[in-house]
Chains A and B, each alone.
Chain A
Amino acid sequence: MSEQERDILPVERIHPTSPRLLGLTVVIMLLSGVMLNASVKLLFQTYPGLDNPTYGAFHEQWRRLMDLDRPVDTLILGDSSCRHGVDPDVLDAELGSHSLNFCSLGNAAIINSAWQLETYIERHGVPKRVILIQVHDVWRRNMQLPLVARVPLPWGFWERLRASWSPDRRQLRHIFLALHVPVYSQDKTVTELLAYPWRARERRLPFTPRGYSPIERANPRRVARDAAQHVRKTARRGWRLSAQSRGALQTMMDMADELGFDFYVGNSPQAEGMLSKPQFARYYESGQRVLADLADTSPRTELILSPPVEYSRRQMENSDHIIATSVPSYTRRLAAAVATSELHRVPQRRREQ
């Protein structure tokens, strides 16, 4: 660079430092990162609704399970369709039972329900009956890793429980980061909070004390869009049962057979009209055949609500979430399915078989 250019253009001037100062700077910088992470972790623990509200719902249902201080006779497990769709008060009125709804999310997949069941049995003994309600496309999923991190069981529980799963190194790293480094794993939420603080509010989904989460407002447009998307997706891929889900379902069926509880596998509510589409009907039917065949291998397992109960768009929030005014009818249909099932009607014969 010429003298002239040195006058015009900025240059690098080395600034003296000492090894101690350099080291101190690096240490303080790293500590600031650690403190930031700890603060974010504390923030999300104190206000779980600041996070993704569905993660909050997942946390809520596991918290309810872990805080349960006495047994119940009916466990309702599954995804958000039954969290929003099954009211234990209505179910108990129909069946004369005492039930709790621990349904969470579709992205928690079947294995989460298996883990909830095992955890319940370990703490409170064998229930009388277990009802598992799933949307048709949840069977193909594996549990999302950030949700695995949110299961309030000690590290490595996924291999210790009977419905076991062996994550690879990448998945373990992901779970570790989700559990211990929320600044990394929940960076989008943190960014939103810092960049748009006026939008920050704790979003908690409403829950009754027994785990039912009512939806008040229908969203017909969203139902139509959602239903159309489901129908489109089935054109690209068939019904599938993931290996993880198959293993989890098999574990639950085996436990039912060994421990003697009735296990009902049921279909979620569904927007009307979807089954009138031939390709969707074929897709759905193929799934039902697989589930029915699997249920037939277990004397204590039965497939119910097949075909599914359908609702109009004005009764739903999306293509598998019904609103509160429709919940009693769905829950009664569920109760009726249980009451008229072979397991319920002839339990003695089933046991002998």
Chain B
Amino acid sequence: MLFNSFVFVGFFLLTYALYLSLGRRTRAQNLLLLVASYVFYGYWDWRFLGLLAVSTLIDFTVGKALYRAKDAHRRKLLLTISVCANLGILGFFKYYDFFARSLAEVLRLVGLDPDPLTLGILLPVGISFYTFQTMSYTIDIYRGKLAPTESLLDFALFVSFFPQLVAGPIERARTLLPQIERPRRIDRDQLAAGLWLILWGYFKKVVIADRMALIVNPVFAEQANYQGLELVVALLAFTVQIYGDFSGYTDIARGLAKLMGFELMVNFRLPYFAINPSDFWRRWHVSFSSWLRDYLYIPMGGNRGGKARTLRNLAVTMLLGGLWHGAAWNFVIWGGYHGALLVIYRWLDPNPIDANPWRSGVARLRVVGMMALMFLLTVFGWLMFRAQSASQILYFLSNMHQGLGRTGVELLYNLFFFAWPLAAVQLLQYRTGDLLAVCGLPTPIRIAIYCFLFCGIIIFGVHESMEFIYFQF
């Protein structure tokens, strides 16, 4: 069920009421949350509950065995079982048809005409997220950073916790499991922060992102009918849409978790204010980029082993990171593009600014220039991400300068009208360095903002439930 649906609101209110009624009975609360999480996931498609359960059982069992095993060979074998099982599930459901079709295309290039054996496999919602989450558990046990949990209930809840199950943040067992295992206390400050995140998250999703979709989708569906400013605005609108959609979902997830006394990791730290690609990936989808860093980049050698090896590791990590997003070549290309940006920046500037740029002695204009350049590079990357074909990318690039188009000015107005609150809040967050800056404003101003956002959701919210973009990953 989508967060932006009446069904979910009813589901959460009921679950929350029961949760609160259980007081500090942690085990009972965990059981309730587990049942609720399975109901939540089963509402999408009950057939994939088994997959979730299997992934949970495998890693729970492997985790315990891994911890007890003393023999290095046996430990490696157990880890391999966990990784292969998770990647196998992910690979089959997400990539089988893609690779089968791609192989068939390659064979056609050399004159063969195979019938690709595609299976029309349905992609289980959230599979990319929860498989990565469970893999991090067994890998951390293998590395000696974590002791396994003895409670299958707690582990199952760690895997399936409904606020973050289908689109992250990808949590680490080291941070989430202890919160599951011990009694939770919901304090009023956490409650207030949670309510703000939920409100802001819904606004970002149903007002900003979904309104941007109304600009983006027609242009990308039939780009030949658009040109010039219309294409530029559509691309900018997608830049806003994907951020509003994904960060909106994360905020709602984190807000819901806070209401229940859980702290999920911050997933976005104002990515469009980044000054270089490294900075961008410290700010965008942080749970995923840190997962790649800790479980792919560093094990490959990271930045130890010379410049060439570092650049190689960066490129491979980002390529695979792109592939994670979806079974399509444009995602791989997008990942490769970001990898190339990281490589080029690392090569051109081996000592990037590693302190607050505004206090680093660098001229302010230069910092603004770096931000603007990084923003433009990011927007270009989103074109690859969203485009349905290489010819569409070429069309955009070759027609962006062709005047205003019939509706360019109107689209630009729509973009500004619906996106300005995002810019305003983000500027405040950036200036104060506080992602909860609105919560710290004087009471009358804060209440006025809350009322504005609430009324905005009611009036401007797109009611036809639009799925979150990252659900398709």
Contacts and interface: CB of A to CB of B under 8 A. Distances in A.
B430 interface: yes
A4 B193 contact: no
**Main DSSP-derived SS at the B contact region:** helix
A335 B420 CA distance: 60
B435 A12 contact: yes
Contact of A184 (B414, B435, B463): B463
A18 B188 contact: yes
A237 interface: no
A7 B188 contact: no
Interface string B436-455: 10011001001100110011
A25 B188 CA distance: 13
Residue with the greatest number of chain B CB neighbours at <10 A, chosen from A9, A11, A183: A9
A26 B455 CA distance: 13
14 contacts: A8-B356, A10-B429, A11-B435, A12-B435, A21-B443, A26-B195, A29-B451, A29-B454, A183-B459, A184-B458, A187-B458, A187-B459, A194-B459, A195-B414
A119 B454 CA distance: 41
A122 interface: no
Contacts of B222: none
Interface string A2-39: 00110111111111111101101110111011001100
A191 interface: yes
A4 B356 CA distance: 8
Nearest to A5: B282
A25 B434 contact: no
A8 B454 contact: no
B188 A10 contact: no
B206 to A, nearest CB: 11
Given A9-B282, A10-B269, A29-B454, A191 B459 contact: yes
B181 interface: no
Which of A9, A10, A30 has the most chain B CB atoms inside 10 A of its CB? A10
Among B188, B191, B193, max chain A CB count under 10 A is at: B188
Interface of A: 4-5, 7-19, 21-22, 24-26, 28-30, 32-33, 36-37, 183-184, 187, 190-191, 194-195
Nearest to A2: B354
B451 A14 contact: no
A17 B435 CA distance: 17
Contacts of B279: 8
Interface string B398-441: 00000000000000001001000000000001101111100110
A4 B463 CA distance: 43
The A contact surface, by secondary structure, is: helix
A9 B193 CA distance: 19
Contacts of A12: 193, 266, 434-436
Nearest to B429: A10
A36 B458 contact: yes
A11 B447 CA distance: 22
Given A10-B430, A25-B446, A183-B459, A33 B436 contact: no
A33 B436 CA distance: 23
A190 B450 CA distance: 20
A324 to B, nearest CB: 33
Contacts of B356: 7-8
Given A22-B188, A29-B447, A13 B459 contact: no
B174 to A, nearest CB: 14
Contacts of A187: 458-461, 463
Contacts of B189: 14-17
B455 A33 contact: yes
Contact of A28 (B195, B433, B439, B447): B447
B441 to A, nearest CB: 9
B283 interface: yes
A32 B440 CA distance: 21
B18 interface: no
Nearest to A26: B195
B373 interface: no
B192 A22 contact: yes
A13 B447 contact: no
Contacts of A9: 269, 282-283
Given A15-B439, A184-B463, 8 more contacts: A8-B357, A11-B435, A13-B434, A16-B189, A29-B450, A29-B454, A190-B459, A195-B460
A345 B429 CA distance: 82
Contacts of A16: 189
A44 to B, nearest CB: 13
Nearest to A187: B459
B355 interface: yes
B303 interface: no
Contacts of A28: 447, 450-451
B39 interface: no
B223 interface: no
Nearest to A186: B459
Contacts of B436: 12-15
A172 B235 CA distance: 41
A292 B459 CA distance: 48
Nearest to B199: A29
Contacts of B283: 9
Nearest to A23: B188
Contacts of B193: 12, 14-15
Nearest to B441: A15
Nearest to B436: A12
B190 interface: yes
A32 B435 contact: no
B250 to A, nearest CB: 12
Contacts of A36: 455, 458-459
Contacts of A194: 459-460
Interface string B169-211: 0000000000000000000111111010000000000000000
A191 B414 CA distance: 11
Nearest to B458: A183
A13 B436 CA distance: 6
B270 interface: yes
**B190, B354, B458: residue with the most chain A Cβ atoms closer than 10 Å:** B458
Interface in B314-368: 354-357
Contacts of A15: 189, 192-193, 436, 439-440
A19 B354 CA distance: 40
Most buried by B among A14, A21, A194: A14
Which 3 residue pairs spanning A and B have beta carbons closest together? A32-B451, A15-B440, A15-B439
A4 B459 CA distance: 42
B454 A4 contact: no
Contact of A19 (B188, B190, B434, B461): B188
Interface in B129-167: none
A16 B435 CA distance: 15
Contacts of B417: 195
A187 B463 CA distance: 9
A43 to B, nearest CB: 12
A28 B448 CA distance: 9
Contacts of A33: 454-455, 458
A15 B196 CA distance: 11
B455 to A, nearest CB: 5
Most buried by A among B414, B432, B447: B447
